[in-house]
Amino acid sequence: MKVMVVGSGGREHAIAWKLAQDESVSRVVCCPGNAGIAKTAKCLPVRVNDTAGLLAAASEEGCDLVVFGPEEPLVNGAADALRKAGLTVFGPSQSASRLEGSKVFAKVFMKRHGIPSADFEVFDDYEKARAYVEEKRGPLVIKADGLAKGKGVVVCDDAESGSVALKGMMVDRRFGDSGNRVVVEERLEGPELSVTAVCDGRRHLLLPFSQDHKRALEGDRGPNTGGMGAYCPVPFVGRGLAEEIESAVVRPALEGMASDGTPYTGVLYAGIMLTPAGIRVLEFNCRFGDPETQAVLPSADVRLGETLLAAARGELSGVNRAESGRHSACVVLASAGYPGEYETGLPITGLDSLSDEDGVLVFHAATREDGGRTVTAGGRVLGITGTGPSLEVALGRAYAAVRAVSFRGMHFRRDIGTRALGVAG
Ligand code: AMP
Ligand code: GLY
């Protein structure tokens, strides 16, 4: 089969790479892709929000399946439009994508279906929200309702920082209409876990658990980023916890979406916190995680083309686990200044010296070709994934490969996965 991947980041590179490993996939096309993806897939210059362009490209290329990477086109209804035109699409409908597109929708949905989550209140009035935050005093989390490029969540220590966050969203309109409504949530504590379930509307296939590293600097300091690295699987998640996550989160979410008349087809990503009081869902996303996917797919025992096609057709088999015993760790190489301002167009050296055979995979997040050289084209530039029989080996391979690569100002965290080392499974 021929598969089209929509997107241009490290996540889409990992998806294209995994699809190409599947014998049932004869060709991968990517819109728009990047310099690294171009080595595994045919890249076409169609933007992710150009639905008419995606439709034309998928038809011209004779694609049997379209797989969406990013959330924005899904939340805007691109999967519905392509399905309506007769294409087979892996990605939720616009109504089902509200699980990510509206924090208020997700919170109300979870409450209604008994899915454990932080206590919350919803506000569309700034003064009322501020009065509530001041009355509460303690640590809170403020979330803009709509999409905000991963920046719409502010974890606050006190009422003062809470008020500043509210003003930024509701008065200064930092995220435009996305901040018209906010969720004010109880602040929880505990390790976080990323859950990736491939869903066909009713059934799911659980991919191995992973852990992201969201802060820019070592020791979880510095500003929040899109993610500076991830590893998979997570040693502190045993069988019991995995089953609890399926029965308390994944199944009720799928059943709830189906019974609400918006069955969920696509990746259901749940960001979970393991609090002293039990598991709590922090957020749902309607797509694969980034950079989690760059660690999850190399570790997972799954034929991705076959699986995503079956899910898109509502025909997933009963198998719902994909662990392989293979460990992986992805280290993100970012531009100087990221997540703030950064320069682009800087030449990257050392990429040719790396080879898959050494248990190393190089996923391009934001690169382009410029006069025969590969140059930087964004904040998160590359994800270097090491794989191996243990997390330690995977990390060793990833960091050895990182040492071979460089571009001016390149920065990365040296402590990806280190907290998990030595934790028994
Ligand atoms: P989200 O975009 O909803 O995943 O939130 C981004 C990050 O904010 C999460 O990965 C957590 O680290 C943090 N966060 C979100 N909700 C809470 C909460 N209720 N308590 C503590 N931290 C939270
Ligand atoms: N890494 C977190 C996310 O993909 O939303």
Task: Please tell me the number of the ligand nearest to residue 189's CA.
Answer: 1
Q: Where would I find the H helices in 137-250?
A: 159-166, 239-245
0.85 cut: is pTM over it? Answer: yes
Q: Give pLDDT, residue 425.
A: 45
CA 226 to ligand 2 center in whole angstroms: 6
Helix (H, G, I), strand (E, B), or coil: what is residue 33?
A: coil
Q: How far apart are CA 275 and CA 399, in angstroms?
A: 31
Ligand nearest to C-alpha 330:
2
Rounded to 10 degrees, what is the CA torsion of 155, 344, 218, 207? Answer: 70
Instruction: Look at residues 215, 278, 131 and name the one whose alpha carbon lies nearest to residue 412.
Output: 215
- Cα of 227 to ligand 2 centre, how many Å? 7
DSSP H/E element including 396: helix 391-404
Proximal ligand: closest to the CA of 10: 2
Backbone angles phi, psi at 149, to 5 degrees: 50, 40
Q: Mutation test of ligand 1: which of 283, 284, 292 has the most ligand atoms closer than 8 Å to its C-beta?
A: 283
Give the integer Cα–Cα distance in Å for 268 and 394: 26
Strand partners, 284: 270
Q: How far is the CA of 24 from the centre of ligand 2 (A)?
A: 29
Q: Residue 314 C-alpha to ligand 1 middle, in angstroms?
A: 31
Strand partners, 27: 2
Nearest CA to ligand 1 atom 6: 153
What pLDDT, on the 0 to 100 scale, is given for residue 149?
86
Alpha carbon distance 240, 37 (integer Å): 38
Ligand 1 site-directed mutation target among 136, 155, 280, most atoms within 8 Å of CB:
155
Longest dimension (CA), the chain: 60
| Nearest residue to 148 via CA among 172, 169, 166, 165 | 169
Partner residues linked to 285 by β-bridges: 269
- For 82, counting Cβ atoms within 10 Å of its Cβ (0-12 exposed, 13-18 middle, 19+ buried), the class is buried
Beta strands in 242-335 (DSSP E): 264-275, 278-285, 327-334
Chain-centroid distance of CA 344 in Å reads 23
Q: What angle do CA 177, 181, 184 make, to 5 degrees?
A: 140
Place of tokens 């930087």: 376
Q: How far apart are CA 345 and CA 340, in angstroms?
A: 17
Look at residue 138 in the predicted model and tell me its pLDDT.
85
The residue whose CA has the least distance to atom 4 of ligand 2 is 289
- How many CB atoms neighbour CB 375 within 10 A? 18
Interatomic CA distance for residues 397 and 404, integer angstroms:
11
**Which three-class secondary structure state does DSSP give residue 269?**
strand
Helices 159-166 & 126-136 angle (0-180, nearest 10): 170
**Which of the ligands is closest to the CA of residue 196?**
2
- Return d(Cα 97, Cα 74) in angstroms, integer: 6
Query: For strand 65-68 and strand 89-90, is the pairing parallel, antiparallel, or unpaired?
Result: parallel
Instruction: Ligand 1, residue 143: give the atom nearest the CA.
Output: 3
For residue 95, the model assigns a pLDDT of 98
Using a 6 Å CB cutoff, which residues line ligand 2?
212, 227, 285, 289-290, 292
CATH numbers and ranges of domains, the chain: 2-91 (3.40.50.20), 125-180 (3.30.1490.20), 192-424 (3.30.470.20)
Residue nearest to atom 5 of ligand 2 (CA): 289
DSSP state of 208: P
Count of all residues that appear for the chain in the document: 425
Contact of 408 with 346, CB cutoff 8 Å: yes
pLDDT in tens for each of the 425 residues of the chain? 999 999 999 999 999 999 999 999 999 999 999 999 999 999 999 999 999 999 999 999 999 999 999 999 999 999 999 999 999 999 999 999 999 999 999 999 999 999 999 999 999 999 999 999 999 988 999 999 999 988 899 999 999 999 999 999 999 999 999 999 999 999 999 999 999 999 999 999 999 999 999 999 999 999 889 999 999 999 989 889 999 999 999 999 999 999 999 999 999 999 999 999 999 999 999 999 999 999 999 999 999 999 999 999 999 987 778 889 999 999 999 999 999 999 999 999 999 988 777 799 999 999 999 999 999 999 999 999 999 999 999 999 999 999 999 999 999 999 999 989 866 44
Please tell me the distance between residue 269's alpha carbon and the centre of ligand 1 in angstroms: 14
**In sequence order, what DSSP letters do the residues of 108-135 get, joined into one string?**
HHHHHTT--B--EEEES-HHHHHHHHHH
Give Cβ neighbours of residue 372 (< 8 Å, ≥ 6 apart). none
**Are 200 and 267 spatial neighbours (Cβ–Cβ below 8 Å)?**
no
CB 300 within 8 A of CB 324: yes
Give the residue among 92, 409, 80, 54 at the shortest CA–CA distance from 260: 92
Classified as helix, coil or strand, 139 is coil
Q: How far is the CA of 187 from the centre of ligand 2 (A)?
A: 19
Which atom of ligand 2 is the closest one to the Cα of 292? Answer: 1
Measured in angstroms, how far is the CA atom of residue 103 from the centroid of ligand 1? Answer: 12
Q: Ligand 1: does its nearest atom lie under 6 Å from the Cβ of 100? A: no
State the DSSP H helix or E strand holding residue 305, giving kind and residue range, or none if neither. Answer: helix 304-312
Structure confidence at residue 46 (pLDDT): 98
Q: Bridge-partner residues for 2, per DSSP?
A: 27
d(CA 410, CA 412): 7
